[in-house]
Each structure stands twice: as structure tokens, then as C-alpha cells.
Structure 1
């Protein structure tokens, strides 16, 4: 059962029916029977049906009937047509309010069930990333453009493979269930290929074949793949039409490693062009790597200014990676006055020692 209080409505709403009936009673006593305030007692059960349970609506309706009868006696209208009409209106509104409350409660229960299923689906689709992988500290963040949505077309994953720590961050073209289905497909293939394929380009080729075959050219995915070798203090990137990664150096300088040549997004290989080629960058102790989707850099404020990610890199200085990423996420939402696109971020820190 979902009450108004459980839904987070202000406490004053639960008292609104009683307050309204008290005001109507006061006006009726002050103005007298000629003012015709008596039928307004039905506002009590009407408001109760909008914000409360059907049981509470019936209780409020019974209280309204008693109040209406008492006021009718006080006004000398109890055995007149006006008195009967007022009580009939209260009874009718109570019945309608109880039915409406019952229907609303069933819908809320169905919505709660759907949300529960969505949470399970999200855990299957987007599993929590490991908090620690050797010297690497990992944190992830996902912000959906749809209110209360827990699933979207952005994706990320961290896989510890025999060939190093392999990472993907991607953005599926489009929205809705079709984008979620493609995201699930990409994540499933990446989790398997990251363990099997010795070369990062082979992982990308496997993703390309799968998306091309399953999406039939209707969907594509911008993605960046990374392979981290902590023993070599380096990282290999493979960029498929995705925003450049951001590396924060120990001296707080910021670097955006760019590919030697941009490749088409995954799923568009049939249009021609060269396949993506890996390129390397230094990544050692004390440095941070942020991978993100375009929902971060394309977040715009009221003046149309894009989010200045490089300027806000200092927000990631907090000791705890998850806390730092949450501060950055809130700053992005504040900059854009709310989320307008899905935004996924993956932060990897190379801890000293």
C-alpha cells in the first residue's frame, strides 16, 4: 500500500481534507444558511480521494456526512431539500473519491512493480564495477535524462582480463527500449571478448560484427575502449567516434589523448573507412583517467555554453573516487539546470604505492 506520506507528498496534504471541512464549517456558521456553503463539505472527501487511500477517503467521507448533518441541524435545514441535497452530494463525492483512490493505488502498485523489475534489469545490464583492481581505484556514475529512469543507452564496463584491465564506455544512438537492447548486446559481447581476444582491435572488430548483424544498420554505438597495463604504466585506447578521454596528471595538468585518425562508430563499419587503431598514452601512479559520454561535454546552460570539463577537472581532487565523481555529476546537472541527456562517467585512479 502506498500512502501519500510514502510517496513523499508534504505532510500538509494529508491534513488538507480536515482543514477544508473545518473552514467550510466556520464559514457556514458565520454566514448562516442563506450563504449556501453546506454542499462544500464534500470538498473534504474529494481531496482525500486525490491524496489518500480508499479507506481514509471513506473515513473522511463519514466524518463529512456527520459534519454536514450537524450543520444542517444547526441551520435548520436537516429535513429540507437543501439539507438532503448537501448530504447526497457528500455521499456521492465520497463514493467517487474512494473508487478513484482505489484505482490510483492499483496503478501505483503496478508502477512500483515495474520499477522493481527495472532495477533488476539494470543490475543485469549494468553491473557494479569493481571498486579496486590492483593499484587502480574505480568509480562509475550514470545520470538518466528521463526522470526516475534507471536504464538508458549509455554503457560502461570494467573487465579484468589476462591481457590487462579492459574498459569500455559507450553511447548508443537513440533512446528507449531499442537503445537499451543494443546497450545490453554491446556489454554482453564486450564482457566475453575482453577475456578471449588478445588484441584490443580484435575486441572492437567483434563488437562491430555483432552490432552490424543484430542492429541491421539501424543502430550505432560511439565507444572508447581502453586497456591498462599497470606494470608498464601506460594505457592503450581505441576510439570509435567517441569523445576523447581525459587524463589528470599529478601536477593537475589535463590531457585529452586523441587518436591518430578518427574511426566510425561501432555498427557503421559497412560504410567504409579505416578500422580503429589503438594508440597509447602514459598512465602512472597519481594520475586519473575519466571516460565519459557526450551527455557530459554537451550539457549546456541557459546561455548555450557547453560544460567546461577541463576547467572543472579539479572537482575530482577528493580522496574518495565515488565522492569525487558524485561532486562532478552534481556540478554538471547544476550547469545544465537538470539532466537533458543520459550521461555516463567512469573514473580510474592509479593509486601511489
Structure 2
């Protein structure tokens, strides 16, 4: 059978040659492979270094390629556990001794320094491998905690939202952190589907804690709140109580921009309360426009300074319309000239795409637009009002 015939696997298809590499790798002892390591071609590179250096030295002994054998344990330290690194160093030493014997047979003086260098590099590499494994273990624990926190802060969206279909996008500023100060939630209530998207001032664990306070309060009050201003007032109270329980010098600087949305099931409208948050975009018949608040409402934890006149804006929201909610991690992204990301213009390009495709386009476009390292979380949510005949075609994994 042709060597290029592929075999189906859970990850896709792999060639017969790669399958043989995987099989050979899995037959190696666990102390060589290291627990938790999956096969990668680079994992055999230390052995290849030894083989290539040995072959080159035998073919051209006057160039002394045996000095490159020390690279093998150094390379192994970056990928293998301590035992595997030591075994690589021992193999390199054995190859060096064999090459020294060959040099002696040719009348050349074996290099004792090369043997000592390989031994020293092996010991240093074993220590480095130990340090790397400890750091990987700590990172794995941190990722587990982050995944757990993310499951609490951003659980899977409800399956049954009636005539509303929702797609979301989220990325923390630190890719490995997975959580940040941007948050969102969607709930079906007796008053219709209610949504929240928010952005906590600041970053790190304090921002995550404040986001959890907002989401907890939203989930507690969302079903019983008679209207959006009442719900915003409950969020304000929760944040105020949190600041009293966790005092600090930055209490006055702790504020959260929030956008609340209510989409009644039996009315072709949407109600919004914008508490200092970026204006959402309404996609209607291929047109895209910003939905600016008719009057400003204070960000959460700023009502004591600005008052609490929460303004409700009602907009038409019929079947086929979509509402794009987002945080300033998207709208305030800048290119190398300092120009803000032209969100409305870019979204017009993808107005005919599906909600999932639109968010994917938006995500990739923002990452390509930003000059240098992105310094803010980003989140986006699209609420799509589907017609009665379209509900059966929706799918959420």
C-alpha cells in the first residue's frame, strides 16, 4: 500500500509514516517520555543530534563534531523529564567515548575536555529540566483554577432563549489567564430575554472579583426585577456593599460600565439601559448603526457622585435584526498611528455573514489591527431575533 495512505484519527488524518513515529514513541518507557507528554516530532531531536554529530565526526574526524554532543542533553532539558535528560546525557557520553576510541585508533589524542563538558552540561540540563517541570506543574494548576473561575463567571449560554439566538466572543488580555474584567450573561425571564455585558475598570484578580460580584447580582435579581432601571439599581447596591466589605484606597476608582438589554418575547422591540458602556450596534436589513443612549446613565458604583437616573431607550427589534454588544477592548483598540479601530465600518463589511462568522471576522480583524501587544480584554455578544420558521434551524454546540 502507498506510504501516503492516511489513517483517520480523532484529530483528523495522519500519514502512515507519522503513525509509525507515534507508535514507536509510545513504546518508549514512561520515564523517557515523561507523564502527560504527547508525541511531537521535536521530542526526538536530542537523539537526532547525537546521531548526526556522531556520523559527522566519523566521516570528518579532523573537524571534531563530537563537541556538538553536549547540545543533546541541553535540548532534552527543554522537552524531557529529568530521567530522560540524564539518559540523553549518558548516551552522549557513550558516543563521545566511542569517538575518542576511534580518534585514538587514528593516532589522534582524545579530548578529555569534551567528555567533562558533556558531563557538566548534562548535570546542568537535569537541573534545568527539574525547574521547568515544576513551573509547568504550577502553570497547569493556575490554568485549572482559571478554567474553574471561567466556568463560574462565564458558564455556557442557556439553550432555550425562545426567539433569540446568541453568539459570544471573549478573550482575556493574557491568553493563558483565560479570565479578565470583561463579562457577559444572558437569561430568559418572565419579561423576556435579558442580557448584560460589562467592563470592570482595571485588570487582574481585583477586576475578576468585581466582575463576579456583578454577575452574581445579575443572576440573583434578573428574573424578579420589574424593569431594567431597578435591575441597574440592584447592581449598584451590590457593588457598593462589596466596596464596603473590601475597602481600599481605590474605592472611588472602582467603577464598571454596563449595558443592560431586555428583548420582550411578544413585542418587536428591545429596551436598553447604558451605564457608561460603548454604544451597541444594530444590524437591520444590511444596515449598521450605533444605538446611542438618549441620556447618560451612571456607571456602576458612580451613582453616589452622578445620581441614578437610569434612562431606558426603546428601539425597534424585529425578526432578522441583530444587536452587537461589545467592550472597549474592541472599540478602543489602536493601530500604530494611534487611530481607534473603526468598528462600525468594519462590521458593515460582514453584515450579511452569520453571527458566528461575524464574530470570527471581528476577532481576527482586531488582532491584526492592533499595533504591538494588546493591553485589554475583549468581549462581544450578538443577539439575533429569529423568525418562528427559523428557530428549528438554530444550533448551539
TM normalised by structure 2 equals: 0.79
Structure 2: runs of 5+ lacking an equivalent: 1-29, 244-250, 389-397
124-133 or 339-348: bigger deviation: 124-133
Please tell me whether the aligned partners of residues 226 and 236 of structure 1 are also in contact (alpha carbons under 8 angstroms): yes
Match of 1:271 among 302, 305, 313: 305
Would you say 1:184 and 2:218 are equivalent positions? no
Matches within 5 A, 1:149-298: 149-215=177-243, 216-250=251-285, 252-298=286-332
| TM-fit CA distance, 1:311 | 1.7
Quote the Cα distance in structure 1 between the aligned partners of 2:136 and 2:297: 46
Hey, what's the Cα distance between the residues in 1 that align with 2:336 and 2:378? 18
Q: Match for 1:315 among 339, 345, 350?
A: 350
Does the residue aligned with 1:345 lie in a helix, a strand or coil?
strand
Describe the SS at the equivalent of 2:234: helix
1:184–1:231 CA distance, 2 compared to 1 (3 A):
same
Please state whether the residue corresponding to 2:278 is helix, strand or coil: coil
| 1:105 alignment counterpart | 133
Aligned CA distance change for structure 1 residues 239 and 9 (closer, same or farther; 3 Å): farther
Please say if residues 132 and 138 of structure 1, whose CA atoms lie closer than 8 Å, have aligned partners that are also in contact: no
**Which stretch of structure 1 is more off in the superposition, 82-91 or 192-201?**
82-91
| Aligned residue in 2 for 1:63 | 91
Tell me, in whole angstroms, the C-alpha distance in 2 between the residues paired with 1:3 and 1:308: 49
User: Equivalents in 2 of 1:138, 1:245: separation in Å?
Assistant: 15
CA-CA distance at 1:291 after TM superposition: 0.7
CA distance in 2, matches of 1:59, 1:274: 69
Offset at residue 83 of structure 1 (A): 4.2
- Counterpart for residue 11 of structure 1: 41
Of 110, 115, 118 in structure 2, the residue corresponding to residue 90 of structure 1 is: 118
CA distance in 1: counterparts of 2:381 and 2:160, whole angstroms: 13
Decide whether the 8 Å contact of 2:272 with 2:314 is kept in 1: yes
- Residue 183 of structure 2 aligns to a residue whose secondary structure is strand
TM-fit CA distance, 1:255: 2.5
1:3, 1:260 → 2: CA distance?
Answer: 63
Check the 8 A contact 2:54/2:99 in 1, yes or no.
no
Cα distance, 1:31 vs structure 2 = 5.1
What is the rounded CA distance, in whole Å, between the counterparts of 1:134 and 1:13 in structure 2?
51
The size of the alignment, in residue pairs, is: 348
Out of 335, 343, 348, the residue aligned to residue 369 of structure 2 is 335
Q: Distance in 2 between matches of 1:192 and 1:39?
A: 68
- 2:69 matched to which residue of 1? 41
Counterpart residue number, 1:301: 335
Paired with 1:38 and 1:331, the residues of 2 have a C-alpha distance of 50
Deviation at 1:177, TM superposition (A): 0.1
CA shift for structure 1 position 27:
4.8
Q: Could you tell me which runs of 5 or more consecutive residues in structure 1 were left unpaired when the two chains were aligned.
A: none
d(CA) in 2 for partners of 1:227, 1:306: 29
In structure 2, C-alpha distance between the alignment counterparts of 1:8 and 1:334, rounded to whole Å: 31
Q: SS of the counterpart of 1:312? A: helix
Over residues 141-166 of structure 1, what are the superposed CA-to-partner deviations in whole Å (9 max), with x where a residue is unaligned?
A: 10222122210000101111122211
Q: Contact conserved, 1:172 with 1:220, CA < 8 A, in 2? A: yes
CA distance in 2, matches of 1:259, 1:242: 10
Match of 2:60 among 13, 30, 38: 30
Contact 1:212 1:268 in 2 (8 A): no
Equivalent residues of 2:240, 2:301 under 8 A apart: yes
After TM superposition, give the deviation of residue 284 of structure 1 in Å.
0.7
Cα distance per residue 1:221-270 (max 9 Å; x no partner): 001111111311111110111111111012x1122222222122111111
Q: Which stretch shifts more, 180-189 or 141-150?
A: 141-150
